[in-house]
Chains A and B, each alone.
Chain A
Amino acid sequence: MEQPRRLVVPGRFDRLTEIATFITQAAHTAGLNDDDVFHVEMAVDEACSNIIEHAYAAQSGEIDLTCRCPVTGQFEVVIRDFGEPFDPEEIPPPDVSLPADLDALNEGGLGLYFMRKLMDEVRFEFVPGQGNRLTMLKRSKAA
């Protein structure tokens, strides 16, 4: 992938399929194998779902996605929104060794856990006046 790709959509659940199509096409073009493409798709879907449900909650707003290959073999996704920030450190990870507890988790807890498990790097930045910025990196395995 030579040029970064960008998609800006309203932050609504009915746009998740469009986001998935955008990110999987970009990841395929970047040379990721099918498993890695699925992992990226899932992490982005969980991130965007969290933005729609928690950052924007009752308000409307846009989700701005950019993906690029900063170096060969790396696929980076940056997701920006202008909703309420949150501290990811305040979300306890689920204990997946105790499945009986999972139904007590809020959706964000499991989604955040998936993002961190599926991507090689996950970084949140909250800058007053500039919105929220989530950067996720996937290092390509052999295709």
Chain B
Amino acid sequence: MNLETRELKHVSVVKVSGRVDSSTAPELEKALQSLLDSERSRIVLDFQDTEYMSSAGLRVLVAMHKAAKKSGGGLCLAQLSTRVKEVLDLAGLMPVFDVYTDVVEAVGSF
């Protein structure tokens, strides 16, 4: 898994590439927590190049979304790959998140 973070004025965009599984989910959690600790609670996750997401990844998304909302922000999901969308659907998580087809729209939603 590879993470690339772009800091915009009010929003952080984190591009998640590769696999999010039990091995790599802790790294994603650490990166998101680091943003929250820096008072960057408006976060867009770009999943265009995310080839795999397991239940471990979903737990991180839910936990970090809750934490971000408590800080006045939240997680938006953008450019869901087909497989990530399938996994979110299977877990019934699509209604929990604001999902956008592109990053610009997601950033503009905050």
Contacts and interface: CB of A to CB of B under 8 A. Distances in A.
Contacts of A20: 19, 21, 52
Contacts of A16: 21-23
Contacts of B19: 17, 20
Nearest to B93: A99
Contacts of A98: 92
Nearest to A111: B55
A42 B58 contact: no
Contacts of A114: 55, 90-91
Interface in A57-111: 94, 96-100, 102-103, 105, 107, 110-111
A14 B52 contact: no
A107 B21 contact: no
A46 interface: yes
A36 interface: no
A45 B56 CA distance: 10
B58 A110 contact: yes
Interface size class of A (residues with CB under 8 A): 20 to 34
A49 B87 contact: no
A5 interface: no
Nearest to A98: B92
B54 to A, nearest CB: 6
A20 B56 CA distance: 15
B87 A102 contact: no
Interface stretch (B29-37, B59-67, B71-79, B101-109): B59-67
A100 B95 CA distance: 10
Contacts of B23: 13-14, 16-17
A87 to B, nearest CB: 20
A45 B54 CA distance: 8
A110 B19 CA distance: 18
Contacts of A94: 91
A118 B91 CA distance: 12
B92 A97 contact: yes
Contact of A99 (B83, B86, B95): B95
B59 A38 contact: no
A117 interface: yes
Interface of A: 13-14, 16-17, 20, 38, 41-42, 45-46, 49, 52-53, 94, 96-100, 102-103, 105, 107, 110-111, 114, 117-118
